Amino acid sequence: MALEIIETCVNCWACAPLCPSQAIVEARPHFLIDADKCTECLGDFATPQCAAICPIEGAIVNELNVALNPPGSLTGIPPARWAQAQREIAAR
């Protein structure tokens, strides 16, 4: 049972000091979670701390590859609106 940081991570360091298991490793191109150490904060906190502070939607996933912060959940930008804006920018 462990969480995973994926490539959309921006290496902002916010998660690292919060981890009760010191499972977060500074690495490039992006930070990583040591699966052997990660407990998903069970017994320490009500919610996994890395996912509770991470500012990037989708950057932290569980073992089923499900994002703990799905698109739109942190920015408040509806995914359809985001996609439309990207299309408009590309068309310029």
Query: Interface with another protein by CB under 8 A: which residues?
Result: 10-14, 18, 45-47, 49, 52-53, 55-56, 74-77, 81-82, 85, 88-89
Nearest CB to another protein, comparing residues 12 and 25: 12
Helix (H, G, I), strand (E, B) or coil at 32: strand
Nearest CB to another protein, comparing residues 2 and 20: 20
Cα-based angle 31, 81, 78 (whole degrees, multiple of 5) = 60
Contacts of residue 56, defined as CB under 8 A and 6 or more positions apart, other chains included, come to: 8, 9, 10, 69, 74
Helix (H, G, I), strand (E, B) or coil at 56: coil
Nearest CB to another protein, comparing residues 29 and 36: 29
Cα separation, 2 vs 50, whole angstroms = 12
CB of 34 to another protein, least distance (A): 20
Nearest CB to another protein, comparing residues 36 and 90: 90
CB of 75 to another protein, least distance (A): 5
CB of 61 to another protein, least distance (A): 17
Cα separation, 4 vs 11, whole angstroms = 14
